[in-house]
Amino acid sequence: MAGACIKYSVLIFNLVFLVFGAAILAVAIWLRENKDSHEILGIGDLNINPSISMNILIAVGAIIMMLSILGCCSTTQKNRFMMILFFIGLLLMLLLQMVAGFLGVTHKSKIEHAMNESLPGNLNLLTSTDEKGKTFQKALFKKQDKLKCCGLVNGASDWGNNFKYFSTSCECPSASDSSCTSYNGKTIYKQPCFSLISNLVSKGFSIVIGLAFGVAAVEVQYHLESLTLRLFPCLLIFLINIYDEPNINQMLQKSTGYQVPKA
């Protein structure tokens, strides 16, 4: 009975984490394909490639899914080869967590520093007329509408003569709103976008990375505990053989329902 409970609990756990792995994988792919943020963070003097972090998350999600499938198969079919692959995968996941945790902390600080140092320097892209500038302008135009902000550092004046082309996403719905101001005959948001984008990237990076590796850490811990439970009967058999105490066998049957096979 106890063996069946352990079996089904491990099976259910693996199915739940299969869903978690799929969710992390889907979110990471969506973030990786989010062109607007990449264009703002990766253009001009910035040397930031958010795809690296997203690729790590994609790998974590894929590994969690593969480990969950292996765990389900090894539990239901009692396949020794799958079990070996499963625990090798657990070891690789643990190593990946350690490496990714270190990279996550260092890259997060580097991204924040690079944004604080370099993003304000890209103000000239808002007044530029070349293709690089137009790409940056379109990306910020979309962010203005979503974040309810205008300009990059100093507000609407950052756009220069291009303001007339990108003013629609800056406009406030109400002139009486305290977050709005008047500029060139239009009622616009007075909050610049730089601080909002910086906070959004920092919080998003922390939440997504923390969620991914937190789930992975719980999975490794749970499977190590399940391994201990599976080895528990073997340990008791060893104790019986060493100490030759019949009471241990009786205690084992009462507590777990497991009966030690007779030699």
| Chain segment 161-211, per-residue pLDDT in tens | 999 899 999 998 877 788 899 998 899 999 998 888 878 777 767 776 776
The answer to the question of residue 103 being in a domain is yes
The confidence score (pLDDT) of residue 225 equals: 64
Query: Are 165 and 98 found together in one domain?
Result: no
Domain that holds residue 209: 2-41+49-120+201-256
Residue ranges of E strands in the chain: 180-183, 186-189
**Counting Cβ atoms within 10 Å, is residue 244 exposed (0-12), middle (13-18) or buried (19+)?**
exposed
Residue 155 inside a domain? The answer is yes
Domain boundary among 194, 210, 234: 194
Q: Final residue of a domain: which of 163, 194, 225?
A: 194
| Same domain assignment for residues 115 and 76 | yes
Residue 263 lies in a domain: no
Is 50 exceeded by the pLDDT of residue 260? no
Residues 108 and 91 in one domain: yes
pLDDT given for residue 55 in this prediction = 77
**Count: domains in the chain:** 2
Residues 112 and 15 in one domain: yes
Tell me the β-bridge partners of 183.
Answer: 186
Among 13-27, 75-89, 159-173, the range with the most confident prediction by mean pLDDT is 159-173
Is residue 261 one of the residues assigned to a domain? no
Q: Are residues 37 and 86 in the same domain?
A: yes
Max mean pLDDT among 101-110, 148-157, 241-250 falls in 148-157
What is the Cα gyration radius of the chain? 28
Task: Give start and end residues of each alpha helix (H) in 152-193.
Answer: 163-166
Q: pLDDT per residue over 33-81, tens digit each?
A: 665 555 565 544 455 555 666 777 788 788 888 888 877 777 677 667 7
Question: By the 8 A CB rule, do 136 and 37 touch?
Answer: no
Last residue in a domain, options 146, 175, 194: 194
- Note whether 57 and 178 are same-domain residues: no
Q: Are residues 146 and 106 in the same domain?
A: no
Span of 44-58, 121-135, 242-256 with lowest mean pLDDT = 242-256
Q: Supply the pLDDT for residue 191.
A: 92
Choice among 22-26, 164-168, 259-263 with the minimum mean pLDDT: 259-263
Q: How far apart are CA 231 and CA 70, in angstroms?
A: 19
Q: What's 47's DSSP letter?
A: -
Residues 18 and 103 in one domain: yes
Q: Under DSSP, is residue 77 helix (H, G, I), strand (E, B) or coil?
A: helix
- pTM, to two decimals: 0.62
Per-residue confidence (pLDDT) for residue 189, from 0 to 100? 93
156 and 171 in a single domain? The answer is yes
- Per-residue burial over 213-242, b = 16 or more CB atoms within 10 Å of its CB, e = otherwise: bebbeebbebbeebeeeeebbeebbeebee
Torsion angle, alpha carbons of 143, 145, 148, 151, to 10: 60
